[in-house]
Structure 1
Amino acid sequence: MSHAMPYPVMPPTMYNPTYTGEYTGEHTGEYTGEYTGGYTEEASSNAAPIEGPEDKTNERSFRRSRSGCFTCRLRRKKCDETRPTCNSCGKLALRCDYKPPHWWATAEERKKQKQRIKDRIRQTKVMEKHGSLKVPTSITTPVSPYDISIKTNTYINNVPVPNQSPVSVSGYNMMNPPQQQLPFTQPSSTPQPLATAQCLPAQQSLPTPQSASTEWFNAPAAYLSQPQPYSPMDAVGFGLPGRSLSWCLQTMVPIEESDKPLLNHFFDYVIPLVFPIVEVNHGGPTRVREILNALQNNKSYLHCCLSVAAIHLKTSMGMEDQMDHDIMQHRYEAISQLCRALNSKVGNSQMQVMDATLGLIFYHSCVGLPDDYLPDITWYSHFQAVANLVKKLNYAPTQFNVSLITWIDILGSTMVGETPQFAHTYRTKHLSGTPSGLQPLMGCDDRIMYLISEIACLESLKLEGQLDDMIVRHHISALSAQIDWTEPADKTMESPYNAAGVIVPEKLTKILTALFRIGARIYLYSLIPGFDRHEPNYVNLVASVADTLQFLPTGASGFDRCLVWPLFMAGAHSISSSKLRKVLAERVSALGYLGDFGGFGRMYRVLKEVWRVSEGSTSSSTSGSDTNASTQVNPVQYLPQTRQYPHWRDIMRKNKWDYLLL
């Protein structure tokens, strides 16, 4: 984002360049610029030597491992037997198996696996050598209007607030007389997380869009059109009933025969999986045409999609490391083609780079494994390159790219605790009522997403120590009031299906927006100094997420995978007795393998670790309190204290989980 990334740098053996200008082989540890090239045709020939049994010196130095992992046994290398991944496999990004893998059964399978390992080591070495980038010192071309960064000193006066009475925020002592305290009025659709508390002066009033949707969405007619109810049973082929998408498009993309199964898998399984809301809103055919055009004319995008298809095959078919070679081959080729496109003088090369880089971010976040051990570039490194590229464009990106950039920028900023790259642009759009196309893409009202951007700005300033507690509460009051303004006039929730069993997009959007609204409230209130998740108001707010989920179907036909961010915010601030945890576990089980990968699988993995660590810290705190109580005599000492929990972001950082939870 706009500040130094707090995440630790990946080990030198991992492919973790810093997007800046070109691949140079220097591991700077930061990602700060843009792609400008670097991979060459001679890359593989310059790769570092590959370790292997042919190395006589190593054979004399190390004896063959007979009790270590099977990968080291196959390579005839000494294994330190560290679990779950030994040091040798970890350095080379190899899968470490202590149980006999499928390829251990026959000599022929071992030979094939050995060759796959050699190829993977070669790719890793090449990526190490050519994987770092230099930082451009400045951006010389004029920028507009995407190059507007947030000005922290004007944040207070730039948050739009309704012209109404002052509001109050719980979480601090009530110091004013009772007549100066006002209850915080909360819409009835969600529990009231704010009770009576010290009143803060209202911010100066700024123009606020009317609540009527037709006045807010000052957009082209395409955004205002009312689509007809959509049946998921007609989704096959995106409007081609009875025909698969691959059957219709298999001859339209020039590709090697060996890669056709991956491309067909991408068409038939990955596209419907990653764009469920687009499909419901009848945008599937348009999106497919855009994807097809990119596949035909953008080699980097093509190999990105093939790599993603291999990842999904690996997950859905339980193929373990059988697909690793295909994943790395196409991932490596995607980066190589990306650099060639940057060095190209063709007029549309910048847009090709943007399409491919956004694909590398978005598709991988949708199908990536929680425990992906293969070398890759972090999502925020990719996105920094996209942001710098946008700032250099003399024309706006495509509408779909604008929507995708906004989605990644806003929710990604909450992952790293930093200001969104284009925060001021979102603020301007919020004030003017201009949508970014988020609702038809991911199901949430654009206004909620803009307010999440403002909350991320507030958290960034708080983490930097630029705001004292009173100012933080003041902002929370203003933003909470703004969230109220997004409440619909009719707060009634109902199933998104009509009597004929067909999904009505408007009903579905209402439910998804409500869940994102609750998630935004939880995220906002977690910034209150002294926040305690055990307070009844917050417990009820988290419980309302579980209640709202009941309106959506479970399993593969549901939309749980579209709700990764709000479910994460609610789950990360839930208590052990929260019914949300039980509901979430049931819905994960109903999803089957679909709940094991992508943003949803990663989200649930983080939540389980957050819950484990939090319950451990609570037990330690309780034990310590009991010990102190037995040695104290004065009951005045037994005042309740706010429980201290490790922040979910610290847990992710400790485990090196650079996840983008969309």
Structure 2
Amino acid sequence: MAAAAAAAKTKPASKAGATANATATATAAANKQKSQMHRRSRTGCYTCRLRRKKCDEGTPMCTACKHLGLQCEYKRPMWWSNNDARRQKKEDIKMIIKRKKLSEKSSHTHIHTSMNSPPGLSHSLPTSATFSDPLDRTRSASIDSHFPFTFNSPQSHHDFTPFTTPQLAGDFMFPPFSPYGIDVKTERHVFIDDMPALRESTTSTFSTYQAPPPPGSILPSFPLEGEWTEQVYSERRESHTEETLNVNFFDFTQGPTLDTRQVAVELDEGDQRLLEHFVREVLPILFPVLESNNQGFVSSDLILPALQNNKGYLHCCLSIAAQHFKAVSGTQGEDIDGDIMRHRYAVISSLCDALNRDENHHQILETTLSLIFFQCCVGRFDDALPDIPWHQHFQAAISLVQKLDLPRLVSEPSETPPPAPFNMTLSSWIDILGATMLGRAPVFAHTYREKHLSHTPSLGLRELMGCEDRVMYLISEIACLEALKKDGMNDITLCHHVRVLGDQIGLTEAADDTVILPFNSDGSLCPKQLSKNVTAAFRLAARIYLCNLVPGFHPSQSSCVGLVEKLTAVLQQIPSGRIGFDRSLCWVYLVGGAVSVAGSPFRAFFEDRVAQLGEQSHFGSFGRVASLLGEVWLQTDHQQATSPASATSESAAAAAQPYIHWRDVMQVKGWDYLLI
């Protein structure tokens, strides 16, 4: 009986234990499933997923990507959905990691630029041949002292040896822009007896992704030993976040960004092809410096909204696309010329209608500036189709800028500066450099002068084109001085202003303005360093432009020869080729090249840059600069060959060989270009 009772007591206990075990098992299974689901939800960045590495999901970059200098992407990249692109991306990452390890062992090479101080006044009335720079004797500790050249140096320019730097031949292995996609939706209506019968909608997707070269391809090489990325830019180890400029700097007139990057417009079949050509071929070359800082930013915030919301802007882009297609393809005939002129007429008609209605001033200004600036990216120098000169368009733009009160908006001091109006920034760029083309003062020179002296918020010239605002303001002042010289300013007063402006240019130099190749340790473009290099090039060009105003100036003088050689050395540190930034330096090439004498290293350097650009060197402002410099050099060399052999000194050479100015050559040729 006792045994039976014990057994009876044991059965419930055993049953309870089994129930407890089952509950524990179920709980463990649920926890395991929850853990697996949690692990699946924590995908990590796509770079770590591709490498099959654990990602700590740090922001803005995970620890692994930041340490290795990789691009950390949490948003699904375009290459993820393509197996071939994904495999190639994995190989690229392996190569980046390998170069990272190699670069840590390499030595750092620092290359500094220097800019000579401006000429000073002597006790008697000076000429450019007798100018000396008293500051050069006391600035040995300055960055200007790294070059063996001074304004008062007795050595011949043939003794000057600029530093040599590695230069990339052709395109870069890793393009400076990350891939992005654009969807263009075009609609076509078919009418029968004026009644809508059919409506067709087509969406074209454009991707800027470019697959790396296939195995076995010959990649660019450097004259230095070792891996090509074991260069001066291996010291640039900051993250992309630290290196980029302010990507939210501008205030666009078209409203919010198109998150879908899709634009819907109604076009016929022929115009649809032009729009596709514009998006695929023209859009990537419009604002390369601005685009390099934030991939797709220009397309989504500026171009695409305007195409959809501004009819005049759309016709402008279609005309520019037809002009670009004609230039790159060599197509001739009435059809392509008809497309150019049809849309050119349509945009002018659209502007006139809007002006008559006195509305949408922002859109009118946007279209007018596009007519001016986009022309700098397309067309050949010998285009014969009728068009309105750029400075006549700009007169209308000036009225609109004043009507919108943009100069006041950008001049008001503020503790929290508002975004710079993009149209004012682009107007300022055209105004300053356009004034140098015409030999007059910029229209808004007073605004630039106030901003330079009061240190009000930046106008955004650095973010737009790479050159710091202060240097651009001083170029505006030099243009004003040239206009005063034309109006009869006496030589003593002129030379005093030259010296003052030269001192101001020197004040724009900073201790950290080191000019090196603008790449991070992983081979990606460093926008901040690119801006330093571009600013250095414009600063030297500004000095050359200033020296042009000195009485008795001649390109053969040692001061000018030295500046041109320094400019050549700086330009070597700016990326070249089809995805480089030479087309953003047209004004610099013009000012420096126009005073480069026979045998100058600048000429050979420029010819090499032209060859690297290939067919793209034949159109736009760069093609026009190349044609103009070729004509200037031809006339200058012919003059030198026929000049008296007795002219040995610089002053005698200047008297025997009058200086041929590039502006005079343009006037004789009937060229009316904006070369920016």
| CA separation of 1:431 and 1:393: change in aligned 2, threshold 3 A | same
CA distance in 2, matches of 1:179, 1:305: 49
Does the Cα contact within 8 Å between 1:169 and 1:476 map onto a contact in 2?
no
CA distance in 1, matches of 2:262, 2:136: 64
1:274 counterpart (262, 286, 289):
286
Once the two structures are superposed, residues 537-584 of structure 1 have per-residue CA deviations (whole angstroms, 9 ceiling, x without a partner) of 211110112211222333112211111111110100110110100010
Q: How do residues 327-346 of structure 1 correspond to structure 2 at under 5 angstroms?
A: 327-346=340-359
2:476 counterpart (449, 453, 456):
453
1:323 counterpart (336, 351, 354):
336
Does the Cα contact within 8 Å between 1:576 and 1:615 map onto a contact in 2?
yes
Residues 1:646 and 2:660 aligned together: yes
The corresponding residue for 1:194 is 151
CA distance in 2, matches of 1:367, 1:480: 35
Once the two structures are superposed, residues 81-126 of structure 1 have per-residue CA deviations (whole angstroms, 9 ceiling, x without a partner) of xxxxxxxxxxxxxxxxxxxxxxxxxxxxxxxxxxxxxxxxxxxxxx
The corresponding residue for 2:88 is none
Does the Cα contact within 8 Å between 1:169 and 1:184 map onto a contact in 2?
no
Does the Cα contact within 8 Å between 2:564 and 2:592 map onto a contact in 1?
yes
| CA separation of 1:458 and 1:196: change in aligned 2, threshold 3 A | farther
Does the Cα contact within 8 Å between 1:167 and 1:184 map onto a contact in 2?
no
| CA separation of 1:355 and 1:189: change in aligned 2, threshold 3 A | farther
Structure whose residues are more often strand by fraction: 2
Aligned-pair identity in percent equals 44
The corresponding residue for 2:362 is 351
Does the Cα contact within 8 Å between 1:191 and 1:544 map onto a contact in 2?
no
Once the two structures are superposed, residues 374-421 of structure 1 have per-residue CA deviations (whole angstroms, 9 ceiling, x without a partner) of 000000110011112222235659711011000000000000100000
CA distance in 2, matches of 1:270, 1:425: 32
CA distance in 2, matches of 1:179, 1:573: 21
The amino acid across from 1:602 in the alignment is R
The amino acid across from 1:457 in the alignment is C
SS at match of 2:644: helix
Q: How do residues 41-190 of structure 1 correspond to structure 2 at under 5 angstroms?
A: 168-169=120-121, 172=126, 183=137, 185=139, 187-188=144-145
CA distance in 2, matches of 1:594, 1:585: 13
| CA separation of 1:175 and 1:645: change in aligned 2, threshold 3 A | closer
The amino acid across from 1:194 in the alignment is F
Once the two structures are superposed, residues 315-346 of structure 1 have per-residue CA deviations (whole angstroms, 9 ceiling, x without a partner) of 12221345211111111111111111111254
Does the Cα contact within 8 Å between 1:191 and 1:537 map onto a contact in 2?
no
CA distance in 2, matches of 1:232, 1:638: 49
Does the Cα contact within 8 Å between 1:190 and 1:518 map onto a contact in 2?
no
The corresponding residue for 2:32 is none
Give the CA RMSD over aligned residues: 3.4
Report the alpha carbon displacement of residue 640 of structure 1 after superposing the two structures with TM: 7.9
Query: Following TM superposition, where does structure 1 have runs of at least 4 consecutive aligned residues deviating by more than 6 angstroms?
Result: 173-176, 178-182, 637-640
Does the Cα contact within 8 Å between 2:128 and 2:552 map onto a contact in 1?
no
Q: How do residues 527-566 of structure 1 correspond to structure 2 at under 5 angstroms?
A: 527-566=549-588
Once the two structures are superposed, residues 184-223 of structure 1 have per-residue CA deviations (whole angstroms, 9 ceiling, x without a partner) of 85723667553289xxxxxxxxxxxxxxxxxxxxxxxxxx
Report the alpha carbon displacement of residue 235 of structure 1 after superposing the two structures with TM: 3.8
CA distance in 1, matches of 2:304, 2:653: 64
The amino acid across from 1:380 in the alignment is H
2:206 counterpart (244, 253, 256):
244
Report the alpha carbon displacement of residue 464 of structure 1 after superposing the two structures with TM: 1.5
Name which of structure 1's ranges 548-557 and 273-282 shifts more when overlaid on structure 2: 548-557
The amino acid across from 1:643 in the alignment is Q
Report the alpha carbon displacement of residue 284 of structure 1 after superposing the two structures with TM: 3.5
SS at match of 1:252: strand
SS at match of 1:320: coil
The amino acid across from 1:261 in the alignment is R
Structure showing greater radius of gyration is 2
Report the alpha carbon displacement of residue 609 of structure 1 after superposing the two structures with TM: 0.6
Report the alpha carbon displacement of residue 232 of structure 1 after superposing the two structures with TM: 2.3
1:234 counterpart (178, 184, 189):
178
CA distance in 2, matches of 1:645, 1:305: 40
Q: How do residues 383-398 of structure 1 correspond to structure 2 at under 5 angstroms?
A: 383-394=394-405
Does the Cα contact within 8 Å between 2:133 and 2:150 map onto a contact in 1?
no
Does the Cα contact within 8 Å between 2:282 and 2:321 map onto a contact in 1?
yes
The amino acid across from 1:409 in the alignment is D
2:268 counterpart (242, 245, 256):
256
| CA separation of 1:244 and 1:336: change in aligned 2, threshold 3 A | same
Does the Cα contact within 8 Å between 1:184 and 1:194 map onto a contact in 2?
no
| CA separation of 1:175 and 1:182: change in aligned 2, threshold 3 A | farther
SS at match of 1:253: strand
The corresponding residue for 2:528 is 506
CA distance in 1, matches of 2:508, 2:629: 28
CA distance in 2, matches of 1:543, 1:392: 44
Does the Cα contact within 8 Å between 2:319 and 2:340 map onto a contact in 1?
yes
The corresponding residue for 1:66 is none
The corresponding residue for 2:601 is 579
| CA separation of 1:192 and 1:449: change in aligned 2, threshold 3 A | farther
The amino acid across from 2:403 in the alignment is K
Once the two structures are superposed, residues 590-640 of structure 1 have per-residue CA deviations (whole angstroms, 9 ceiling, x without a partner) of 1001110111000111111111111222233226x59xx9xxxxx9x9898
Report the alpha carbon displacement of residue 350 of structure 1 after superposing the two structures with TM: 1.6
Report the alpha carbon displacement of residue 523 of structure 1 after superposing the two structures with TM: 0.3
The corresponding residue for 1:525 is 547
Report the alpha carbon displacement of residue 312 of structure 1 after superposing the two structures with TM: 0.9
Does the Cα contact within 8 Å between 2:505 and 2:539 map onto a contact in 1?
yes
Relative to the length of structure 2, the TM-score reads 0.62
CA distance in 2, matches of 1:246, 1:558: 16
Report the alpha carbon displacement of residue 290 of structure 1 after superposing the two structures with TM: 2.3
Report the alpha carbon displacement of residue 491 of structure 1 after superposing the two structures with TM: 4.0
The amino acid across from 2:310 in the alignment is N
Paired residue total = 452
The amino acid across from 2:566 in the alignment is S
CA distance in 2, matches of 1:580, 1:394: 43
CA distance in 2, matches of 1:256, 1:579: 51
CA distance in 2, matches of 1:503, 1:330: 37
Which structure 1 segments of 5+ residues have no match? 1-164, 198-229, 630-634
